[in-house]
Amino acid sequence: MRPSFFRDVVWQRLKHNRMALAGGAIVIIMFLMAAAAPLTGKDPGAINIINALEPPSWTHPLGTDDLGRDVLTRILYGARISLLVGFVAVGIATLIGIVVGALAGFYGKWVDAVIMRFVDIMLCFPTFFLILAVIAFLEPSIWNIMIIIGLTGWMGVARLVRAEFLSLRERDFVQAAKALGAKDSRVIFRHILPNALSPVLVSATLGVAGAILTESALSFLGIGVQPPTPSWGNMLIVGKQTLGTAWWLSAFPGLAILITVLGYNLLGEGIRDALDPRLKE
């Protein structure tokens, strides 16, 4: 897809989509907050029992937890974990989905049939319970979580890429490349794939939100990121235990998850609208 299309059409549409701009602003703010975590000058794992369960104040704007750790500092460092999991997991899923979908859509026939039946089988398993089953046999760590989420989330991307390839492989520019003797790999990655990335971009943006939710849920259940490493999900565990006396331990990590996921969903929907050729420029 021509760069001018993104500059002249997509960007113009995004600039006039308030929801997309709001989502983009939220995403940028979350990145800045994660980058600014060390600037607080506080250790997210520093224990101070004397300051345990202090409500929000000037010293601790979001209060402290049951071990006296600053909640704001832990949320900022937790943002790093959530963003890392989201982008790495979605990167793995997108890469696998692009390769699988491209092979199925380009070659068709029995290759397409075999690959898509495997995709259908994978889609029969509830993704979250499949992740739980795999993690039960592995050590719960951030790297295992990212890899597992990525390896169980590529099916949707594969189907999107396959559909685009089935539509594009009969176009004149593809036939011309084949007639000139271009190898299959060059036709796939140089000529067809760049024109099939629009739905993948939307899916990846929305997928980051899903990966963050999955990581938070796993950490909340105690099989995700392990303490003392701060994660929004494992911070909610402490909040659940002290919900009646320390509301801030549940409220602020929950709001962080809500706002971040909302931001990526708004941005993804905005990109989808901007890339829709049926909309008037």
User: At 88, which CATH number?
Assistant: 1.10.3720.10
**pLDDT given for residue 7 in this prediction:** 57
Radius of gyration of the chain, Cα coordinates, nearest whole angstrom = 22
Interatomic CA distance for residues 56 and 70, integer angstroms: 10
Tell whether 109 is covered by a domain. yes
Tell whether 172 is covered by a domain. yes
Tell whether 42 is covered by a domain. no
Tell whether 56 is covered by a domain. no
Tell whether 101 is covered by a domain. yes
φ and ψ at residue 24, rounded to 5 degrees: -65, -40
Tell whether 49 is covered by a domain. no
Q: Which residues contact 243 (CB under 8 A, 6 or more apart)?
A: 249, 250
Per-residue pLDDT of the chain (281 residues; tens, 9 = 90+): 455 555 555 667 777 778 888 999 999 999 999 998 888 888 888 888 888 888 998 988 998 888 889 999 999 999 999 889 999 999 999 999 999 999 999 888 899 999 999 999 888 888 788 888 877 777 777 888 888 889 888 999 999 999 989 888 888 888 888 888 888 888 888 888 888 888 898 899 999 999 999 989 888 888 888 888 888 988 888 888 787 788 899 899 999 999 999 999 998 888 888 776 554 44
Tell whether 209 is covered by a domain. yes
What does pTM read for this prediction?
A: 0.86
Tell whether 24 is covered by a domain. yes
If one counts the domains in the chain, the total is 1
Residue 28's domain comprises 3-35+62-275
